[in-house]
Amino acid sequence: MPAEIHVPELGESVTDATIGRWLKSEGDAVTAGEPVVELETDKINFEVEAEQDGVLQSIAKGEGETVGVGEAIGTIGEGNGAVPRAAKLERVEAEGPVAEHTQATEPKIAPEAQETEAEREAIREEADAPREVEDGGRRASPLVRRLAQEYGIDLAEVSGSGSGGRVTREDVERLIREQYRPAAPERQRSERPASTEDGRTEERPTIQEASAPAAEDGREERVRLSRRRQTIAQRLVEAQQTAAMLTTFNEADMTAVMELRRRRKDAFEQRYGARLGFMSFFTKAAVGALKAFPKINAELQGNELVLKHYYDIGVAVNTDDGLVVPVVRNADFKSFGEIEKDIAELAQKARDGRLSLEDLRGGTFTITNGGIFGSLVSTPILNIPQVAILGMHKIQDRPVAVNGQVVEIHPMMYLALSYDHRIVDGADAVSFLARIKELIEDPEFLLLEG
């Protein structure tokens, strides 16, 4: 019997989602456990699977629509997916005839929901005739042949994209659009009197451009923003509007860290199965600095400041769908190897679109690394409700005065700390960043802080 597709529970505090895209079309066969639709939430995208074998009988909510938890968005019926044409014919018979459309300057090729009476007749023919017929040396269905005949298309000139060179409806529609594409703007003369030396008037040409919608000439494209991108935009604006955000800068000499990595990276990878990166050093340094300045590991709730005595460090990861910040839990209890493995796993899940809501929940402090994209310096925006965020940047060789006597070339990195000045005083912010610098430039301190 038919079964409805419902929006599942989306996680704590998430009550609705957006239909991202349907992975199946009406009439397609589905099997139990097979993904049929992708939902977008504020934090992650996830797929809803079919609960039984059958056919996607109907789609109740289209792409881009907002749906709530428990809402029915489609139906799976019995069958094997071989009945889409019969269903369409049944709909045509129920709707009855419609008037023929009139052709405008550029033809509007109607979707299946807007067939002409001629197309409806072709559908009826197709229900009783062979699925594909030779026409001009090309295989095509009666509906495609009828559409080609209506617009004067010779099927012999159409390159079929279907199996075995079959001409599809999309092939014909594409050729129709190409034939009726608006012409380029032309120079047109319009009379505009102009005085000459003997007092006569003469005609001067002016250029009048034909105005066409940008969508028709291809110079503009409209792309629906994903739910995540909309949420990112809202939260960034909210952070700037609600927090008294300020940024302080410092720079760290990366010589000691880079030398340590050079000596230990092979043994580290053999032992932990993960590369020794810079992020584990900065995560450990952040934990040490947060312990010294607890207000930076806090959250403002109304008139109260919530000081957090645990250290869940968010690590910003860039994906095709936007920035996400999965969280390394209890970073103060983890070794360098455990932190690197966690970061590598979370980054891979983010790129594959497999992050769960639990991976993104909470977080007390965030680190973002613009240096991997070549950024030399930037001012990161707060990941609210957190009150501070650390920005790492590109490592660049620069001349450095050593002991006030000689100038040497050292690998240097600019560090940025953006903070909510309502909670964090400037002195604490500057001292916090100086503490990070101290721990990075002498990594042995990290063992003591750990």
| pLDDT tens profile 89-139 | 444 444 444 434 434 444 544 444 444 454 555 544 444 444 444 455 566
Longest C-alpha distance within the chain, in Å?
A: 97
Q: What is the number of other CB atoms lying within 10 angstroms of the CB of residue 63?
A: 14
What CATH superfamily is the domain 245-449?
A: Chloramphenicol acetyltransferase-like domain (3.30.559.10)
What is the DSSP annotation of 402-435? Answer: ETTTEEEEEEEEEEEEEEETTTS-HHHHHHHHHH
Residue (of 50, 56, 47) closest to 19 by Cα position: 47
- At 321, list the tokens: 């769908």
Q: Where are the domains of the chain?
A: 3-77, 101-179, 245-449
Output the pLDDT for position 296. Answer: 97
Give per-residue pLDDT as tens, 322-349. Answer: 788 999 999 999 999 999 999 999 999 8
CATH number for domain 101-179, candidates 1.10.490.10, 2.40.50.140, 4.10.320.10, 3.40.630.10: 4.10.320.10
Output the pLDDT for position 213. Answer: 47
If you average pLDDT over every residue of the chain, what do you get?
A: 79
The residue to which tokens 């599809």 are assigned: 168
Which entry of 217, 425, 428, 442 is annotated as an active-site residue? 425
- At 153, list the tokens: 């298309």
Report the share of the chain in percent with pLDDT over 70. Answer: 73
* Residue 253 backbone phi and psi in degrees, to 5: -85, 115
Give per-residue pLDDT as tens, 364-378. Answer: 999 999 999 999 999
Instruction: Report whether pLDDT(196) > 80.
Output: no
Q: Among 10-24, 272-286, 333-347, 428-442, which stretch is predicted with the lowest mean pLDDT?
A: 10-24
Output the pLDDT for position 115. Answer: 47
Q: What is the rounded radius of gyration, in angstroms, for the C-alpha atoms of the chain?
A: 32
CA atoms within 13 A on the CB side of 54: 18
The residue to which tokens 């979370």 are assigned: 346
Instruction: Report whether pLDDT(437) > 90.
Output: yes
Residue (of 8, 65, 16) closest to 41 by Cα position: 16
148 and 172 Cβ atoms separated by less than 8 Å: yes
Q: Among 109-123, 156-170, 230-244, which stretch is predicted with the lowest mean pLDDT?
A: 109-123
Give the end-to-end CA distance of the chain in Å, rounded to a whole number: 60
Instruction: Establish whether 425 is a catalytic residue.
Output: yes
Which entry of 342, 421, 428, 442 is annotated as an active-site residue? 421
CATH topology classification for 3-77: OB fold (Dihydrolipoamide Acetyltransferase, E2P) (2.40.50)
Output the pLDDT for position 448. Answer: 63
Instruction: Report whether pLDDT(173) > 60.
Output: yes
